[in-house]
């Protein structure tokens, strides 16, 4: 059974569990060339739609947690953010992943959502360490991670992409003691 996701709110955003009504905006986002430029390129829309619908089923078994980012002012979905399980350099890690519609870039929404989710992950989720793998040329996403309190620790080759994989920067955030 999928873990229950808490609603996380900031002054401008609501992070909530994905729903059937988010399918079209999610597919549009994950198939947009601009949005996916540094994330392995756009996904196949039919495969993505099927996977997204499958993930909404109550019996879906997955350790990954995804929230839909909703603009509070318009009540419209503008992005996705999640904590996913990934192996990085042979070590099991929890990765913070964020993606916004291109027309929402440059407004601080990604930093705000990432900060809120990290705070929730440490205070209520029991996480001790969270990483973000960010393409070395994706300066805007690096800034998001830094504003959210993460720091760059090293470079790695993106998992699953073999010898010709892309070089990624590993940003890390750790729960502070106390």
Give a yes or no: residue 57 inside a domain. Answer: yes
Residues 35-64: what's their mean pLDDT? 77
Domain count, the chain: 1
pLDDT band at 123 (very low <50, low <70, confident <90, very high): confident
Torsion, CA 12, CA 32, CA 20, CA 14, rounded to 10: -10
pLDDT band at 146 (very low <50, low <70, confident <90, very high): very high
Q: Which residue has the higher pLDDT, 42 or 169?
A: 169
Give a yes or no: residue 148 inside a domain. Answer: yes
Per-residue model confidence (pLDDT) at position 34: 82
> Residues 6 or more apart from 46 whose CB is under 8 A from it?
none
Residues 139-162: what's their mean pLDDT? 87
The answer, as to whether pTM is greater than 0.85, is: yes
Give a yes or no: residue 3 inside a domain. Answer: no
Find the CATH number of the domain harbouring 92. 3.40.630.30
Domain that residue 137 falls in: 8-174
Q: Which residue has the higher pLDDT, 178 or 151?
A: 151
Reported as a single tens digit per residue, the pLDDT across 67-118 is 999 999 999 999 999 999 988 999 999 999 999 999 999 999 999 999 999 9
Name the strands in the sheet holding 8-9, side by side, starting at the edge strand that comes first in the sequence. Answer: 8-9, 13-16, 65-71, 76-88, 91-100, 129-135, 167-174, 151-157
Give a yes or no: residue 143 inside a domain. Answer: yes
Q: Is the pLDDT of residue 161 over 60?
A: no
Give a yes or no: residue 30 inside a domain. Answer: yes
Average pLDDT, whole number, for the chain?
86
């Amino acid at each position: 059974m999928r873990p229950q996701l808490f609603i996380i709110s900031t002054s401008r955003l609501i992070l909530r569990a994905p729903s059937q009504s988010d399918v079209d905006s999610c597919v549009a986002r994950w198939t947009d060339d601009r949005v996916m430029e540094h994330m392995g390129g756009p996904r196949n829309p039919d495969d993505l739609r099927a996977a997204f619908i499958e993930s909404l089923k109550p019996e879906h078994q997955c350790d990954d947690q995804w929230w839909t980012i909703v603009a509070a002012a318009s009540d419209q979905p503008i992005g996705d953010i999640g904590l996913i399980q990934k192996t990085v350099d042979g070590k099991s890690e929890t990765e913070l992943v964020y993606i916004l519609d291109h027309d929402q870039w440059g407004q601080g929404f990604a930093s705000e959502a990432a900060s809120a989710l990290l705070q929730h992950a440490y205070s209520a989720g029991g996480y001790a360490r969270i990483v973000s793998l960010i393409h070395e040329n994706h300066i805007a996403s690096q800034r998001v991670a830094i504003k959210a309190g993460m720091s760059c620790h090293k470079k790695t080759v993106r998992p699953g992409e073999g010898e010709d994989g892309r070089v990624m920067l590993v940003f890390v955030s750790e729960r502070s003691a106390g």
